[in-house]
Amino acid sequence: MSDDVLVEESGGVAVLTINRPKARNAINGAVARGIAEALDALDGRPDVSAYVLTGAGGTFSAGMDLKGFLAGDFPVVEGRGFGGLTEAPPRKPLVAAVEGYALAGGFELALACDLVVASSEAIFGLPEPKRGLVAGAGGIMRLPRRVPYHVAMEIALTGDHYPASRLYELGLVNRITEPGAALEGALELARKIAANAPLALAATKRVIIESQDWPLEEMFRRQGEIINPVFGSKDAMEGAAAFAEKRAPQWKGE
């Protein structure tokens, strides 16, 4: 795996760090492939239940590496999209830990995450129209599902920067931390998630995402197809036994 993406694991949580601080963690082909390879390797492991995505050097990501783009280096992985993530997020919960800038493709990576923890000094924005581009890596599709319509239009059409405090007010950011503490805050949240049963987490995330456009008359049938196997799993039996025996459950992801 490339040094442009670092992976560390602890306590059921894997931290993926975009490691191009001199380029403000701009996303190039190597970063996209590194993220995709990490997720491919980790998504099938029962000992990892949640992820944190962050950037090195005090910046989440300033977006696509435009110099690389002009040279023909496209940060897109077939089947996973921009940054190796935006078109096919992992089936396990993913928390963004945002310091500094999350702009353009960097903001789109954060929007592809399930939860966002941001420093009080973090800045978000989709400045693509200012450069003759469009936020085509999910930004203009996901943003209206995260914030009110007119606010999404303002953010997307002006291309302006917005502080983490404003996005927290809108419900897009889950938690605000002191500067430099976003990763710690994201890890705290990810570990709380990872303490739960892996199969239940994956099924819960899938239903929340997929049910947004389910017809009313099919909602419970479709949900049942996803969650019924969880109720018959070994982890479901373990959860009940652990509760009865007043002990911590030992999840197997089975």
Residue 228 to residue 233: CA distance in whole angstroms: 9
Catalytic annotation on 108?
A: yes
List, in sequence order, every residue forming a beta bridge with 77; answer none if it has no partner.
81
Of these residues, 9, 87, 128, 154, which one is catalytic? 128
Rg (C-alpha) for the chain, rounded Å, is 19
Residue 209 to residue 201: CA distance in whole angstroms: 12
Q: b/e map of 99-118 (b: 16 or more CB within 10 Å)?
A: bbbbbbbbbbbbbbbbbbbb
Catalytic annotation on 169?
A: no
Of these residues, 37, 108, 218, 245, which one is catalytic? 108
Task: Name residue, tokens 């999209």.
Answer: 81
Q: Strand 81-82 to strand 161-163: parallel, antiparallel, or no bridges (unpaired)?
A: unpaired
Q: Strand 5-10 to strand 13-18: parallel, antiparallel, or no bridges (unpaired)?
A: antiparallel
The residues near 37 (Cβ < 8 Å, ≥ 6 apart) are 1, 5, 84
Q: Active-site residue numbers?
A: 108, 128
